[in-house]
Amino acid sequence: MIATKFGIKHGEHGPTPMSGVDSRPEQIRQVTEASLKRLQTESIDLLYQHRVDPNVPIEDVAGTVKELIAEGKVKHFGLSEAGAATIRRAHAVQPVTALQSEYSLWMREHETEIIPALEELGIGLVPYSPLGKGFLTGKIDSSTSLADNDLRRLLPRFSPEARQANQVLVDLLQQIADDKGATPAQIALAWVLAQKPWFVPIPGTTKMHRLGTVSRIMFGARS
């Protein structure tokens, strides 16, 4: 399955950091055509809007993707980090297949409004950072030094004080993992998978040697 995104403008010096958003219909088409060419495919399985563009009505965005679906260039429409009202407006124009947003034991704010809306509308959730951007693995604590180019340095949750305050959660995960003969990462991911059968988390890694571990967690977490 191929999933890709549109809607982000990048800086001059590489793919990060983002310099803004752009979901104008012509930009959506341009990015989609470029993705089809780079990926050497005739159709994208799931096309996400990377971030909501406040300057473009979501109805126009959904309508453009609807046209791309009719043309056979896209199969399904997804949103990322969208609020419940935006999801409903988009879904009324073109059914939304999936929402990608952060969700984990450490980030549960979507349980109040967004997840109930997704369940009502039949939209899947693709939680990113289900391991709390690495914090729930137990390999990061208040003394861990983050590299200068590590984007987590910008997040209040990753200040040394916040990590120290949240260490109790990781300690509890470690206790449960020890009882189960598992790792904290496996327990954290199993928790996400156990919430709803239509949650499809996407744990990530920047290290090639960790891909096998991530795969084993994904395929073994439910047990």
- Lowest-pLDDT range, 66-70, 87-91, 206-210? 206-210
146 belongs to a structural domain: no
57-83: average pLDDT: 99
Domain residues for the domain of 44 are 3-131+186-220
pLDDT at 218: 65
Task: Report which of residues 117 and 219 the model is more confident about.
Answer: 117
DSSP element (H, E) containing 88: helix 84-93
94 belongs to a structural domain: yes
CATH classification at residue 38 = 3.20.20.100
159 belongs to a structural domain: no
CA 170 to chain centroid, in Å, comes to: 22
Q: Please check whether residue 79 is in contact with residue 49, taking contact to mean a CB–CB distance below 8 angstroms.
A: yes
Residue 102 has pLDDT above 70, yes or no: yes
158 belongs to a structural domain: no
167 belongs to a structural domain: no
Alpha-carbon distance of 5 to 99, in angstroms, equals 12
- Lowest-pLDDT range, 8-12, 31-35, 83-87, 108-112? 8-12
pLDDT at 213: 62
136 belongs to a structural domain: no
- Mind listing the pLDDT tens digit for each residue in 138-186? 888 888 888 888 888 888 889 999 999 999 999 999 999 999 998 898 8
Q: What percentage of the chain carries pLDDT values higher than 90?
A: 71
Domain count, the chain: 1
43 belongs to a structural domain: yes
160 belongs to a structural domain: no
